[in-house]
Amino acid sequence: GKMPFTPYHGGIGILLKSFFLKRFSLIIFLWLQFLYDVEVLFNILLDSNRLHSWSHTILGMMVIALISCITGKYIYEIFAKILNDIVKIKLSEHPNRKIIIFSVMLGVITHLPLDAIMHYDVRPLFPLASNNPLYGIVSVFTLHLGLLICAVIGLIVWILRLKLKKYR
Q: What is the pLDDT of residue 73?
A: 94
- Report CA-CA distances (Å) from 125 to 2, 63, 65, 90, 121: 25, 15, 17, 41, 12
The 10s digit of each residue's pLDDT in 92-122 is 668 999 999 999 999 999 999 999 999 999 9
What letter represents residue 123's amino acid?
R
Output the average pLDDT for the chain.
92
pTM listed for this prediction: 0.92
What letter represents residue 81's amino acid?
K
DSSP code string of 50-102: -SS-GGGSHHHHHHHHHHHHHHHHHHHHHHHHHIIIII---------HHHHHH
